[in-house]
Amino acid sequence: MLKTISCGDLRAEHVGQDVTLAGWVHRRRDHGALIFIDVRDRHGTVQVVFNPETAQEAHATAENFRNEWVVQVNGEVTARPEGSENPDLPTGAVEVAATSVTVLNESKTPPFSVNDNSNVDELLRLQYRYLDLRRADMRDLMILRHRVVKFIRDFLDKRDFLEIETPILIKSTPEGARDYLVPSRLYPGQFYALPQSPQQLKQLLMVSGFERYFQIARCFRDEDPRADRQPEHTQLDLEMSFVEEEDVLQLIEELYTEMIQTIMPEKKLVTPFPRLTYADSIARFGTDKPDLRFGLEMSDISDMAADTEFRVFTSTVENGGIVKAFNAPGCASFSRRQVDGLIDFAKLNGAMGLVTIALNGEPGPLDDLTQEQIRSAAARFLSVDQVREIANRVGARIGDMILIIAGQEKTTNFALNALRNEMGARLELADPNELDFCFVVDFPLFEYNETTERWDAMHHAFTSPKNDDEQYLESDPARVIANCYDLVANGVELASGSIRIHTAELQERVFAVLGYTKEQVRQRFGQLLTAFEYGAPPHGGIAPGIDRLIMVLTGRDNIRDVIAFPKTQNAVDPLFGAPDVVDQEQLDELHLKLNLPEVAEAKAGANG
């Protein structure tokens, strides 16, 4: 080894030892004759002192040092002179008095500073990702990610799970996204698909009799770019035989609880994780991903709204829509401008508008409410009694403001959920140190797709219906509830899973509802259906996302920060410059002819 100890590991107990360090020049300060260099390696930095009186040659060499040079230093660990200790630095009690030094490699001036976490243009960071990853923040994220994955592996190993790899080159495994395709050279005109998840493979492993499988699996989905999406993401893919929903949920709850208590004991964790049905979650929070760190629960006020003189309300209800509201405590004092801001926000999130009712006055019960205290664009259409009734339902008191959205159910819920999260943030209701997990259960099996005019699987095609609902598969798909569950934390969906179908007969019925022809089923899912005919055990599983978990644990909102080498929002890798054109030869080998839109053609011409 070119080093005897890590820079970041030096402590007072090492005083008096001769050490050899190797690392990067983190920062340099000249103090009169003395040169101070912070040398950094993965474990941290330590201060090295070059004194011309005692180590003339080393001092002369250090004079040339620039940030990010790679150096090896021999020296003695000494206690820092009294008064110059740095309590903020783990190595701050000591320094190393250099006796000799070797330059292992020089460095150009980096395009951004590595020795702080200052804001740098993200594209530049991604282009020089190897330098970006030297920064303390990013290093810590990668270390945390390693520890999380290691914890998962150890935890599952202790519970008798086997880690089994599944192929990356496979056939289409639909999870609702577009496939990434890989052309086959040996079979011209034929393609592999990258797995959207190992879903069918893990089910086949259950048919194989492994009973408990997991994998830290990469999933590839060619979806339209979105801020929190990546073309490839990592999930803990897991499947178990002979289990019911409750067994999977318990395992996951134990895994997350123990993991967080071990790795991030400072986090406030609420256990046991509450369970909400899908219907309940939508009713109370407008979403199946509720942030439970704060209240602001919603109430349907359609019945009351229908009784008012307010056209916006009455016509919405007449047209089959809903009127839904929640109370923002203490917000009666919001200014006109703040209210306008909220209206814009609601519109941005798809609502036609937002009705606010501020109940002005000293905070207190509703009994004394008068017309003068009601501030609302809809005030003249609402009687005091009606306002009081609405306020009662949403739990508002004088001093509060009621936020109401009217519209079709889906858009209303969507906008109101966004508004609820926004208010939670504005009022700082969510404790950033708190992690509020919950399980959302009892999802519908199908969801009607207005565009294709077909039923889609809400989770995926392999999810089983509740026993009692099987009978409605063909006659009333909308009412079939699935053995399907999500894990949500702080408003983020962390995992989805289900108890699967394990007989060919039921699987074929579900495929039929989804509109697959017999031929399509045979071609796409033949392998699974055949396997089901050879003694498939009842089984189920789940697949928690790892990237999202690290985001939630660290409070990051940029998925790229938790991935060592991510793509941009537009699915580009600026470091390697992928995707890129390939040589004509490669295309010929694959028997591929390009038929490009004009823009791409220009690029292909320029590069190729």
Q: Residue from 45, 91, 498, 507 that binds ligand ASP (CB under 6 A)?
A: 498
Structure tokens given for 284: 């109370």
Residues 6 or more apart from 337 whose CB is under 8 A from it? none
Between 299 and 496, CB nearer to ligand ASP: 496
Nearer to ligand ASP, 8 or 497 (CB): 497
Nearer to ligand ASP, 199 or 230 (CB): 199
Site string for ligand ASP, 397-426 (x = CB under 6 A): ------------------------------
Stretch that binds ligand ASP, among 177-185, 418-426, 431-439, 538-546 (CB under 6 A): 538-546
Question: Between residues 206 and 331, which has the closer beta carbon with respect to ligand ASP?
Answer: 206
Which range binds ligand ASP by CB under 6 A, 13-21, 84-92, 161-169, 537-545? 537-545
State how far the Cα of 312 lies from the Cα of 353, in Å rounded to an integer.
Answer: 10
Collapsing DSSP to helix, strand or coil, 258 comes out as helix
Q: How far is the CB of 290 from ligand ASP (least distance, A)?
A: 19
| Closer to ligand ASP by Cβ: residue 252 or 342 | 252
The least distance separating ligand ASP from the CB of residue 542, rounded to whole angstroms, comes to 5
Tell me which stretch binds ligand ASP (CB under 6 A): 27-35, 302-310, 321-329, 493-501.
Answer: 493-501
Q: How far is the CB of 292 from ligand ASP (least distance, A)?
A: 22
Closest distance between ligand ASP and the C-beta of residue 175, in Å? 5
Cα 283 from Cα 458, distance rounded (Å): 18
Name the residue among 314, 406, 322 with its Cα closest to residue 357.
406
| Residue 263 CB contacts under 8 Å (≥ 6 apart), including other chains | 144, 147, 148, 151, 553
Angle between helices 245-263 and 136-158 (to 10 degrees): 140
| Least distance CB 578 / ligand ASP (angstroms) | 24
175 binds ligand ASP (CB under 6 A): yes
E strand or H helix at 604: helix 598-607
User: Which CB atom, from 132 or from 442, has the smaller least distance to ligand ASP?
Assistant: 442
Residue 496, interface with ligand ASP (CB under 6 A)?
A: yes
| Helices of type H across 169-244 | 199-207
Smaller CB distance to ligand ASP: residue 76 or 253? 253
**Minimum Å distance from CB 447 to ligand ASP?**
15
Rule CB under 6 A: choose which of 195, 290, 497, 574 binds ligand ASP: 497
| 153/218 with CB nearer ligand ASP | 218
- Shortest distance, position 597 Cβ to ligand ASP, whole Å: 31
**Count of residues in contact with ligand ASP, rule CB under 6 A:** 9
Q: Give me the DSSP letters along 439-491.
A: EEE--BSEEEETTTTEEEESS-TTBPBPGGGGGGTTT-GGGPBBSEEEEEETT
Q: Is residue 174 part of the contact set for ligand ASP (CB under 6 A)? A: no
Q: Sketch the per residue contact string, 187 through 216, with ligand ASP: x for CB under 6 A, - otherwise.
A: ----------x-x-----------------
What is d(CA 49, CA 36) in angstroms, rounded to the nearest whole number? Answer: 5
Is residue 175 within 8 Å of 237, Cβ to Cβ? no
Which of 315, 283, 276, 278 minimizes the C-alpha distance to 299? 283
- Report the residue number, 231 or 541, with the smaller CB distance to ligand ASP: 541
For residue 252, the minimal CB distance to ligand ASP (Å) is: 11
Q: Between the CA of residue 281 and those of 243, 292, 380, what are the distances in Å?
A: 25, 10, 33
CB-wise, 8 or 198, nearer to ligand ASP? 198
Rounded to 10 degrees, what is the CA torsion of 427, 432, 435, 436?
0
Structural contact between residues 443 and 279, judged by C-beta atoms closer than 8 angstroms: no
What are the CA-CA distances from residue 119 to residues 112, 126, 137 (Å)? 9, 13, 12
Stretch of 35-43, 147-155, 264-272, 492-500 lying at the interface with ligand ASP (CB under 6 A): 492-500
Choose, by CB under 6 A, the member of 378, 404, 543, 551 that binds ligand ASP: 543
Min separation Cβ 280 and ligand ASP, Å: 22
Q: 103 pairs with which residues across the strands?
A: 71
Write the DSSP assignment of 154-172 as a string of letters.
Answer: HHHHHTT-EE----SSBS-
Q: Which of 445, 446, 418, 424 lies closest to 436, judged by CA? A: 424
- Report the residue number, 175 or 561, with the smaller CB distance to ligand ASP: 175
Q: Does 231 bind ligand ASP (CB under 6 A)?
A: no
Our CA dihedral for 358, 415, 299, 309, rounded to 10 degrees, sits at 60
- Catalog residues that contact ligand ASP under the rule CB under 6 A: 175, 197, 199, 496-498, 541-543
